[in-house]
């Protein structure tokens, strides 16, 4: 029987770490997850993952060959294979995650942040198949971005390129998790949408079911539900969010002239509520030479799979390049 090549994709999240085996065509062969236990050391997590990988691979050994391990993690650096002061894990300083994995495996190991991994996943298996120039925006708690130019992920000089969430909307604006103010992710993210709701509830006098939800309990899903039921505050919150996101994406287009921008993550799941005002504002703010050229499209990967698929794509992308003439 011919052996099937597979890559391990690993997504280290603040709460859970998902991992799975992905074949060349992007199909999931096996997938599971363990709690990250972010209070423990990175060494402990990698050791527990190694146990899990071993259990996952055991029944497949006769038919599958492991070709590499691709990993996505917050604040990951592709060049150094490190995770640096991750926001949701109690790992201090610069943690050599790729090296920790290499202690167990004599295979290619690569590491990048989740938005970059998502961009590679879309390029190999999703909405950006065949594209050479595009941007993936992940709209979750924050706003992450992965930029592909001429078919290559843009890492920049130090491996940290693609921080569109930390571009400036308003120098006197909202406090950002990074310590500065007015960054895009404080407006255009699931959290940003909820902050806009708070602002609108203060500004306007309309009745709204959102007045009954404590800010800490509010989710982008609840705002979407209210908007779909016609709540004017919720509808305007999406309008404002899309307006700001579209305006700033026009800046990204001016830098990079992508063929498409792919929106992904919890807030993108709101569909037309976020896509329509964003697309309108993007067109309105584009330099004339870029108008009607840039497609704003949803991810073509399932929410659950993307992180693992993207992490695996990090290795598949290299393996497939080597096979080209």
Residue selected from 256, 275, 300, 319 as contacting its own copies according to rule CB under 8 A = 256
- Residue closest to 26 by CA, chosen among 46, 5, 41: 5
Of residues 47-106, those binding its own copies (CB under 8 A): 84
- What's the rounded Cα separation, in Å, for the pair 325 and 53? 33
Of residues 168-187, those binding its own copies (CB under 8 A): 168, 171, 178-180
Shortest Å distance, C-beta 285 to its own copies: 7
Shortest Å distance, C-beta 224 to its own copies: 26
Total residues at interface with its own copies (CB under 8 A): 43
Shortest Å distance, C-beta 227 to its own copies: 24
Shortest Å distance, C-beta 183 to its own copies: 8
Residue selected from 293, 302, 304, 321 as contacting its own copies according to rule CB under 8 A = 293
Shortest Å distance, C-beta 302 to its own copies: 26
Q: Could you tell me the two tokens for 35?
A: 């709690």
Helix, strand counts (H, E) of the chain: 8, 13
Q: Are 105 and 69 in contact (CB under 8 A)?
A: yes
Shortest Å distance, C-beta 282 to its own copies: 12
| Three-state helix/strand/coil letters over 13-42 | CCCEEEEEEEECCCCEEEEEEEECCCCCCH
When the beta carbons of 84 and 225 are compared against its own copies, the nearer one is 84
Phi and psi torsions of 22, nearest 5°: -125, 130
Residue ranges of the alpha helices (H) in the chain?
A: 42-57, 97-102, 114-125, 190-203, 220-228, 232-256, 272-285, 303-323
With CB under 8 A as the contact rule, which of the stretches 107-115, 149-157, 232-240, 311-319 interacts with its own copies?
Answer: 149-157
Phi and psi torsions of 145, nearest 5°: -145, 145
Residue selected from 158, 175, 207, 303 as contacting its own copies according to rule CB under 8 A = 158
SS3 295: strand
- What's the rounded Cα separation, in Å, for the pair 64 and 37? 30
Task: Specify the pairing of strand 4-12 against strand 16-23.
Answer: antiparallel
Shortest Å distance, C-beta 278 to its own copies: 15
Of residues 112-141, those binding its own copies (CB under 8 A): 131-133
When the beta carbons of 123 and 218 are compared against its own copies, the nearer one is 123
Q: Are 187 and 194 in contact (CB under 8 A)?
A: no
Residues of the shown chain interacting with its own copies in the complex, contacts defined by CB under 8 A: 84, 131-133, 147, 149-150, 152, 154-164, 166-168, 171, 178-180, 247-248, 250-252, 254-259, 285, 287-290, 293
């Amino acid at each position: 029987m011919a052996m099937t090549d597979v890559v391990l994709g690993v997504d280290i999240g603040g709460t859970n770490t998902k991992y799975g085996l992905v074949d060349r065509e992007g199909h999931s062969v096996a997938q599971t997850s363990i709690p990250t236990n972010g209070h423990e050391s990175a060494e402990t997590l990698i050791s527990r993952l190694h146990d899990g990988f071993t259990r996952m691979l055991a029944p497949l050994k006769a038919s599958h060959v492991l070709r590499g391990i691709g990993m996505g993690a917050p604040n990951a650096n592709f060049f150094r294979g490190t995770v640096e002061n991750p926001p949701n894990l109690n790992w201090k300083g610069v943690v050599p995650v790729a090296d920790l994995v290499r202690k167990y495996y004599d295979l290619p190991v690569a590491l990048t942040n989740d938005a970059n991994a998502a961009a590679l996943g879309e390029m190999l298996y999703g909405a950006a198949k065949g594209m050479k120039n595009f941007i993936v925006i992940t709209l979750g708690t924050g706003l992450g971005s992965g930029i592909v130019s001429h078919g290559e992920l843009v890492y920049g000089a130090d491996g940290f390129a693609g921080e569109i969430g930390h571009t400036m909307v308003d120098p006197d604006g909202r406090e950002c998790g990074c310590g500065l103010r007015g960054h895009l992710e404080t407006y255009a993210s699931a959290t940003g949408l909820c902050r806009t709701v708070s602002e609108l509830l203060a500004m306007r006098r309309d009745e709204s079911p959102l007045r009954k939800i404590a800010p800490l309990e509010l989710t982008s899903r609840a705002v979407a539900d209210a908007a779909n039921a016609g709540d004017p505050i919720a509808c305007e919150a999406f309008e404002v969010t899309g307006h700001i996101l579209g305006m700033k994406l026009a800046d990204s287009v001016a830098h990079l002239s992508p063929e498409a921008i792919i929106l992904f993550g919890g807030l993108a799941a709101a569909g037309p509520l976020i896509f329509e005002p964003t697309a309108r504002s993007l067109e309105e703010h584009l330099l004339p030479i870029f108008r009607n050229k840039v497609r704003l499209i949803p991810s073509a990967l399932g929410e659950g799979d993307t992180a693992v698929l993207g992490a695996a794509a990090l290795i598949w992308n290299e393996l497939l390049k080597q096979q080209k003439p």
